[in-house]
């Protein structure tokens, strides 16, 4: 007897009248899903089940935590192996629920990514670029180079720095990369 012989049929739905509706897992002649209503005497469906219960006498369907499991591929289980079957049904359902829970979290994270604030860089206004270029005389403020110049945020945007002329300077590519490494590592700059 293995869990590979078990399969999920569906989820039971409480009907509020002392019973529940179970999916049959069969599609009718007209394409509709067939269901069955089951009432178990003395069972309180609103409480979490601690043990799997057989849906109907002689059936191979078991109900645990509102999940209907078909054990038909296992066949008739002798009474001495009944406890093993119940344990396998529980474990199968718990593994199934764990996989669903993880999938649910991943889908929610994917769907909510659009709601997260995106740290987009705001463009440096042309008037600020022109002012900084003239102020810094078209040279890197660190080494004086006129090659591969970049507009650099003195206080990074990620740390709350704005795109104002007071927070923008000209740096050559090399000096900007050195500054970037020192900001990341936490080292003090010049």
**Mean pLDDT across 133-143:** 95
Per-residue pLDDT band for 139 (boundaries 50, 70, 90) equals: very high
pLDDT at 145: 94
The residue among 64, 93, 114 that closes a domain is 114
What is the percent of the chain with per-residue pLDDT over 70, rounded to a whole number? 64
Whether residue 38 is contained in a domain is answered as yes
Whether residue 169 is contained in a domain is answered as yes
Number of domains in the chain: 2
Whether residue 190 is contained in a domain is answered as no
pLDDT at 61: 74
Dump pLDDT digits (tens) for 73-85. 776 766 777 788 8
Residue 138 CB neighbours (<10 A): 11
Per-residue pLDDT band for 167 (boundaries 50, 70, 90) equals: very high
Question: How far is 26 from 21, CA to CA, in rounded Å?
Answer: 14
Whether residue 151 is contained in a domain is answered as yes
Q: What is the CA radius of gyration of the chain?
A: 33
pLDDT at 68 over 50: yes
Do 86 and 16 fall into the same domain?
yes
pLDDT at 132: 95
Dump pLDDT digits (tens) for 1-53. 566 778 877 777 776 666 666 665 555 556 565 555 555 544 555 444 677 77
Per-residue pLDDT band for 70 (boundaries 50, 70, 90) equals: confident
Of the two residues 102 and 70, the one the predictor is more confident about is 102
Range of the structural domain that residue 32 is part of: 3-114
Do 62 and 134 fall into the same domain?
no
Two structure tokens written together for 33: 């899903």
The residue among 114, 149, 174 that closes a domain is 114
| CATH code of 179's domain | 1.10.30.50
Whether residue 97 is contained in a domain is answered as yes
Burial of 42-73, coded b for 16+ CB within 10 Å and e otherwise, reads eeebeeebeebeebeeeebbbbbbbbbbbbee
Do 132 and 91 fall into the same domain?
no
């Amino acid at each position: 007897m293995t869990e590979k012989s078990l399969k999920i049929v569906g989820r039971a739905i409480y009907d509020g009248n002392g019973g529940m509706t179970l999916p049959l897992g069969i599609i009718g002649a007209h394409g509709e899903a067939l269901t069955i209503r089951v009432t178990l005497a003395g069972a309180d469906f609103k409480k979490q089940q601690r043990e799997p219960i057989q849906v109907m006498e002689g059936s191979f369907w078991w109900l645990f935590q509102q999940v209907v499991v078909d054990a038909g591929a296992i066949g008739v289980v002798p009474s001495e192996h009944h406890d093993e079957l119940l344990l396998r049904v529980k474990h199968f359902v718990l593994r199934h629920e764990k996989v669903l829970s993880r999938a649910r979290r991943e889908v929610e994270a994917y769907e909510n990514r659009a709601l997260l604030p995106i740290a987009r860089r705001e463009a440096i206004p042309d008037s600020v670029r022109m002012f900084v270029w003239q102020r810094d005389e078209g040279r890197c403020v660190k080494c004086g180079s006129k090659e591969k110049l970049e507009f650099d945020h003195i206080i990074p945007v990620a740390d709350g720095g704005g795109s104002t002329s007071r927070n923008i300077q000209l740096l050559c590519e090399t000096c900007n990369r050195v500054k970037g490494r020192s900001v990341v590592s936490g080292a003090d700059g010049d």
